[in-house]
Amino acid sequence: MRLGLQHRRPGWIGVALGLAWGWLAAAAGAQGAGKVDTVPGMPPVTDPANLYSEAGANKLSPAVTGALSRIYVPNLKSNDVYVIDPSTFKVVDRFKVGVNPQHVVPSWDLKTLWVTNNAEGRTDGSLTPVDPATGKPRPAIAVDDPYNMYFTPDGRSAIVVAEALKRLDFRDPQTMELQSSLAVPQCAGINHADFSIDGRFAIFTCEFQGSLAKIDIAGRKVLGYLTLSKGGMPQDIRVSPDGKTFFVADMKAGGVFLVDGQSFAEIGFIKTGVGTHGLYPSRDGARLYVANRGSSHIHGPPHGKGSVSVVDFATQKVVATWPIPGGGSPDMGNVSVDGKTLWLSGRYDNVVYAIDTASGHVRSIAVGKEPHGLAVWPQPGRYSLGHTGNMR
């Protein structure tokens, strides 16, 4: 009897192994099916369900080793950058830059912070590079109208957003030498952007035209325009973790439009607050922090009806609202390395807000005149697509 059992054992093992290998093959097939086919040179998408997975809490790249932990605040009207130590909530440095600094933009390789001085209404725009290891600026580079700046997903080009010229200038990401230009004539007020999960296209907002422009990044051509239903004033834009839906902040509409990236069609709207402006994903990619500036006009008063709305990406619903005590004007910024603090400029109150992401408690720090696109540095992630830290 023992011999019979021993004789049958390999058969049962074979069945078990066959089932196991079948399950593994199915799992591998499912994983392969979910793989994102990215543009050449772009780092792979690790988790197709969450393109922000590599920008999770404390997931710092070796490239930021030695970078000072600082908040860099460009002050639009005083033409300087204030530097805050986030551990003490105190201003520890200040330096002059070019005319009308709009944003502090981390480079694709995470080695440089670029201050975009667009010199509104003038011809002396410039980019000021800042060394993250010292927190000090280097000599500025003359550049036409750099309102904002992004980077192609493969890191080969910086995209300077020349807002007043309705133009995107593709430049060398190190020297800023011009490579080529793309006219976007039907996008008045072109300024903010985000990229598809595979890096093939980007959607830019047209602030003064109430519309969006879809751009073929590799082909460097305009694919089309989309007018938003409420004809408002679109500002920041961020893609959902699964890469399917673009969330578009609109200052006039007081909320966030939902746009399907592939079909380039408006599919929904989320009401948030007055003057909806900046959009920042939480470090776990579950929620979107929406800064409502407190005014639906470009130039708002201090102590407005400013607030932050917290939107759940999965349900596309507002799950919390944090008003600024005494009123305020939360504008732009980003989330801390650990995800516990949301840092935002207070545009018309000349302050920076440090907001506890667990409780919504607000702390204010006085800075220069009209703080705008501040950057938190370092931030988690493998590379930066630009703006104030669109990390992937």
Task: Write the DSSP assignment of 48-60 as a string of letters.
Answer: TT-TTGGG-TT--
Cβ contact 317:290 at 8 Å: no
pTM of the model: 0.91
pLDDT band for position 287 (50/70/90)?
very high
Residue 322 scores a pLDDT above 60: yes
With 0-12 / 13-18 / 19 or more C-beta atoms within 10 angstroms meaning exposed / middle / buried, residue 53 is middle
Q: What mean pLDDT do residues 19-37 have? A: 49
Of 245, 177, 180, give the one whose Cα is nearest residue 218. Answer: 180
Concatenated DSSP letters of 14-69: HHHHHHHHHHHHHHHHHHHHH---PPTTSPP-S-TT-TTGGG-TT---GGGTT---
pLDDT score at 33: 46
Query: Which of 17-26, 325-334, 366-375 bottoms out in mean pLDDT, i.e. has the lowest?
Result: 17-26
Beta strand residue intervals within 86-166, DSSP E: 90-96, 101-106, 113-117, 126-131, 136-137, 141-142, 146-151, 158-162
pLDDT score at 1: 34
Percentage of the chain beyond pLDDT 90 is 90
Query: Which pLDDT tens digit goes with each residue over 144-196?
Result: 999 999 999 999 999 999 999 999 999 999 999 999 999 999 999 999 999 99
The two beta strands, 341-346 and 141-142, are unpaired
Give the N- to C-terminal CA distance of the chain in Å, as an integer: 62
What are the structural domains of the chain? Answer: 53-377 (2.130.10.10)
Distance CA 325, CA 31 (A): 47
pLDDT score at 3: 35
- Residue in this structure with the two tokens 């399907």, named with its chain if needed: 260
Distance CA 106, CA 334 (A): 12
Hey, what's the torsion of the CAs at 38, 186, 171, 177, to 10 degrees? Answer: 170
With 0-12 / 13-18 / 19 or more C-beta atoms within 10 angstroms meaning exposed / middle / buried, residue 378 is buried
pLDDT score at 299: 87
C-alpha 106: how far from chain center: 11
pLDDT band for position 16 (50/70/90)?
very low
Q: What b/e readout covers 330-367, taking b as 16+ CB neighbours within 10 angstroms?
A: bbbbbbbbebebbbbbbbbbbbbbbbebeebebebbeb
Residue 90 scores a pLDDT above 80: yes
Cβ contact 41:155 at 8 Å: yes
- Residue in this structure with the two tokens 């922000």, named with its chain if needed: 52
> What contacts 341, CB < 8 A, 6 or more positions away?
86, 335, 354, 355, 356, 357
> What contacts 333, CB < 8 A, 6 or more positions away?
71, 278, 280, 291, 342, 343, 344, 345, 352, 353, 373, 374, 375, 376, 388
Return the structure tokens found at 13: 């093992």
Query: Which pLDDT tens digit goes with each residue over 227-258?
Result: 999 868 999 999 999 999 999 999 999 999 99
Cβ contact 350:328 at 8 Å: no
> What contacts 219, CB < 8 A, 6 or more positions away?
none
The vertex-240 CA angle with 357 and 282, nearest 5°, equals 15
